[in-house]
Amino acid sequence: MKFWTAHLRDDREPVLLREGFSCGALFFGPLWFAAHRAWIPAALLTAAHIGAQLFAPEPIDLVLTVGLAVLAGLSGHDLRRWTLEQRGYLLTNVLAARSETEAMGRLLTGRPDLLGRFMPARTAR
């Protein structure tokens, strides 16, 4: 069972984010953040990687790079949550589900008012 957080904004469809470690952020770092429109974390992580390569001595730069990658993996979803909060989304629910689809179903079961806001009228029935 995984945990998901639901983030809502009046004019947008709900966004679900999984709790836990992010393999995408671990392996792709700034690109993963940029793909999720988390521009500030992407820029800061890029600057940290460049700083580690430019200013750290040879064996330490590798340790710093690996450390930054692990830190990105550990905090990736949390930084996406922070980014959504900066855009006006509110954390409204924490859901337990096996998949994102099941989590969305649980959210819509608990909040039927959301059906008509982001789904076409035929689908919402």
Q: Report the pLDDT value the prediction gives residue 11, as an integer from 0 to 100.
A: 79
Comparing 1-15, 18-32, 41-55, 65-79, which segment has the lowest mean pLDDT?
Answer: 1-15
Whole-number Å distance between alpha carbons of 50 and 46: 6
- Does pLDDT of 119 surpass 70? no
pLDDT category at 113 given cuts 50, 70, 90 is confident
- Does pLDDT of 118 surpass 70? no
Q: Report the pLDDT value the prediction gives residue 125, as an integer from 0 to 100.
A: 45
The backbone torsions φ and ψ at residue 120, rounded to the nearest 5 degrees and listed phi first, read -60, 155
Q: Report the pLDDT value the prediction gives residue 120, as an integer from 0 to 100.
A: 52
- Does pLDDT of 124 surpass 50? no
Within 10 Å of residue 44's Cβ, how many Cβ atoms?
14
Comparing 11-15, 39-43, 68-72, 103-107, which segment has the lowest mean pLDDT?
Answer: 11-15
The backbone torsions φ and ψ at residue 87, rounded to the nearest 5 degrees and listed phi first, read -90, 0
How far the first Cα of the chain sits from its last, in Å, is 28
